[in-house]
Amino acid sequence: MKKKYLSTFQNLFSKSLLFFLLLVMVINVLVPDKKTSYTENRTLAQFPDFSMSKLQSGTFSKDLSKWFNDQFIGRDTMIQVKYIAQKLSGQKEINGVYLTRNGLIEDIEQPNQEQLERKIDAINDFYRLYKVPTTFLLAPNNACVNRNRISKNAPIRNQQKLIDNFYDSLSSEIECIDVSSTLKKHNDEYLYYKTDHHWTSLGAYYGFTAYASQLNLPMQDLEKYQSMVATKDFKGTLASKVGSIGLRDEIDLLIAPDTPNYLLTNISDGSSKLTVYSSEGLESNNPYDVFFGGNHALLQLELENESKKHLLIFKDSYANSLIPFLLPYYRTITILDPRYCYDDITQIMEKYLITEVLYCYNANTFFTDTSLADVIEYDHEAYGIED
């Protein structure tokens, strides 16, 4: 008798589950697809186009599965509920993000050793080819500066050692900025966002002071900067990655009192504006884009001052909040993001009369990057570079 009831229950449960899934499928088809998940801060898969060739190759079924997973009704709520359950259970790490009392902290990435060695060779060759003063500013990530905020048992890589080893591998004529020491002196301050992997404007300011000090640039005290609150409702990529709710950050802008007038031009589309700040970026899914409106292939800053120095910056998004501090010191600043720029670097060096080069990255991005060498790498024989 028990087996009969069990069999009946299993049959009923299977049919109910199938009916529920079919109902959800029908609802998902009828309800317009969402283009973006604000919880995960990413673009969602759209309903795939059908063709017999896609069906036969299996592509259609794979795309349909991705669409169903992304467009599943209540997906954002389920992600947030999962986060709450994991946190209440005492879990300290989710998807490479550590949950701490001071916010979310991203794990230290494993370097791409093959690409790292290639970049080292390319950076050294680039310096030997052009012989312009070159500086490398490699910003440590939150887990390096605030290792004490993460459980002692967590298997965090020693990022400081990675940075030191990398600096040692560069030409002795390249200036290497020790940002870590400066940041660690202020690690009780708001240096990194609680919900995002970027440093704050204050963290970028301390990074700038390390740069200015080593290059003997005159500096203004922090109190002299005009501070403006851009938003108090910033929810960054780390919060999106784990489904965190409740945590929010403030984005502040620090404007130097001696900032000259300037013109910012996007070389790709020819558009220009009189500010490095973007209200459109602030109102986007990623408010950190208030700096320059996000990442672009190639930007040009022309400044009204008496400087004769023309700076070229190879960068990732960490540089976006640091560059405003550099405005008083250069006549022009050319900003190149190797992830999006494929222009001829020789033409850029000549066209913009480059007199100095700065590499500005955060360590996690730099050690896993695969794009920089593609932009600056040269054929040794063609350019007369000796091995």
Instruction: Look at residue 93 in the predicted model and tell me its pLDDT.
Output: 78
Query: What does the pLDDT profile of the chain (387 residues) look like in tens digits?
Result: 555 555 665 566 566 656 655 665 565 555 665 655 544 445 666 777 767 766 667 776 676 666 656 565 555 555 555 555 556 555 677 888 899 888 999 999 999 899 999 999 999 999 999 999 999 999 999 999 999 999 888 899 999 999 999 999 999 999 999 999 999 999 999 999 999 999 999 999 999 999 999 999 998 899 999 999 999 999 999 988 887 778 899 999 999 888 999 999 999 889 999 999 999 999 998 999 999 999 999 999 999 999 999 999 999 999 999 999 999 999 999 999 999 998 899 999 999 999 999 999 999 999 999 999 999 986 544 455 555
SS (H, E, C) the chain: CHHHHHHHHHHHHHHHHHHHHHHHHHHHHHCCCCCEECCCCEECCCCCCCCHHHHHHCHHHHHHHHHHHHHCCCHHHHHHHHHHHHHHCCCCEECCEEEECCEEEECCCCCCHHHHHHHHHHHHHHHHHHCCCEEEEEECCHHHHCHHHCCCCCCCCCHHHHHHHHHHHCCCCCEEECHHHHHHHCCCCCCECCCCCCECHHHHHHHHHHHHHHCCCCCCCHHHCEEEEEEEEECCHHHHHHCCCCCCEEEEEEECCCCCCEEEEECCCCCEECCCECHHHHCCCCHHHHECCCCCCEEEEEECCCCCCEEEEEECHHHHHCHHHHHHHCCEEEEECCCCCCCCHHHHHHHCCCCEEEEEEEHHHHHHCCCHHHHHCCCHHHHCCCC
Instruction: Look at residue 40 in the predicted model and tell me its pLDDT.
Output: 47
Instruction: Look at residue 252 in the predicted model and tell me its pLDDT.
Output: 97
Instruction: Look at residue 240 in the predicted model and tell me its pLDDT.
Output: 83
Instruction: Look at residue 291 in the predicted model and tell me its pLDDT.
Output: 97
Instruction: Look at residue 382 in the predicted model and tell me its pLDDT.
Output: 47
